[in-house]
Amino acid sequence: MVISADRDASSAGRVLVVDDEKPLAQMVATYLARAGYAVAQAHTGPAALETARTEHPDVVVLDLGLPGLDGVEVCRRLRAFSECYVLMLTARGDEEDKLAGLAAGADDYITKPFSVRELVARVAAVRRRPRPTVAPAEPARVFGDLVIDLTAHEVRVGGDPVALTRTEFDLLAALSARPHQAFSRRQLIDIVWDPAWVGDERIVDVHIGHLRRKLGEEPTVHIDTVRGVGYRMGAR
């Protein structure tokens, strides 16, 4: 593990760079440190989990192909104790790789080879992501057996808690803030990711699919697909 920038109050945030290609990891860490981030590095799956537990990163840049544990398994285990944002790196553009990373709890992905400047911009974008606005003592939002408590950052279905990633929770918060309004993918990206985010907008579909499965929607109950437009929340 290498700390590439001092960890102080002026830091833009904490980033953990995980890649077994040490020169690449060092280059990424250097650019992030120049941008004001406190950066740690790890080069194996087990080391990534150990470092994440001790350094408490805000963002993890996580390579898919790692020795010890692959990136998908690291992400899955990371989600058991951290709500950090995860940007998955993959050397291949295969749809299955992207889906596997997102299914494990990654928030975004970028395919190798990539521009380091683009990666730094992606990290900055997730750090800028707006959190749901909650009015003081705002009552929980209720949609049938679905209860969304933004103050406690908690979701329950039929009284049972549902474990969501930060991205899934933010999507649900955005949709539930305006029931019956149809949101396009781009609108949801602007709200949940960042207006400057650039990439495949189908990332929204993947996260909505995970969200629906976790809410036990067979068939869809709470989140409607609006053909030709996007998604909307059903009636309260």
CATH, residue 43: 3.40.50.2300
Instruction: Decide if pLDDT at 7 tops 50.
Output: no
Q: Is residue 149 domain-shared with residue 120, that is, in the same domain?
A: no
- The rounded distance, in Å, linking the Cα atoms of 27 and 41 is 11
133 belongs to a structural domain = no
Instruction: Decide if pLDDT at 22 tops 80.
Output: yes
46 belongs to a structural domain = yes
Closest CA to 82 of 100, 62, 56: 56
Q: Is residue 124 domain-shared with residue 47, that is, in the same domain?
A: yes
Model confidence pLDDT, tens digit, residues 206-232 = 899 889 988 886 545 689 899 889 999
Query: Could you tell me the pTM of the whole model?
Result: 0.70
Name the residue with higher pLDDT: 78 or 2.
78
Q: Is residue 80 domain-shared with residue 45, that is, in the same domain?
A: yes
Q: Is residue 122 domain-shared with residue 148, that is, in the same domain?
A: no
- What average pLDDT does the segment 20-37 reach? 94
- What average pLDDT does the segment 54-73 reach? 93
Q: Is residue 77 domain-shared with residue 29, that is, in the same domain?
A: yes
Q: Is residue 97 domain-shared with residue 172, that is, in the same domain?
A: no
Query: What range does the domain containing 101 cover?
Result: 13-128
Q: Is residue 118 domain-shared with residue 148, that is, in the same domain?
A: no
* Banded pLDDT at 93 (limits 50, 70, 90): low
Q: Is residue 220 domain-shared with residue 194, that is, in the same domain?
A: yes
Number of domains into which the chain is organized: 2
Q: Is residue 20 domain-shared with residue 122, that is, in the same domain?
A: yes
7 belongs to a structural domain = no
37-55 CB burial, b ≥16 within 10 A, e <16: bbbbbbbebebbbebbeeb
Residue 116 phi, psi (nearest 5):
-65, -35
> Which one of 98, 128, 158 terminates a domain?
128
Q: CA-CA distances (angstroms) from residue 150 to 64, 91, 142, 170?
A: 32, 37, 11, 10
Instruction: Decide if pLDDT at 92 tops 70.
Output: no
Residue 59 phi, psi (nearest 5):
-135, 140
Q: Is residue 17 domain-shared with residue 124, that is, in the same domain?
A: yes
- How confident is the prediction for the chain on average, in pLDDT? 85
Q: Is residue 124 domain-shared with residue 17, that is, in the same domain?
A: yes
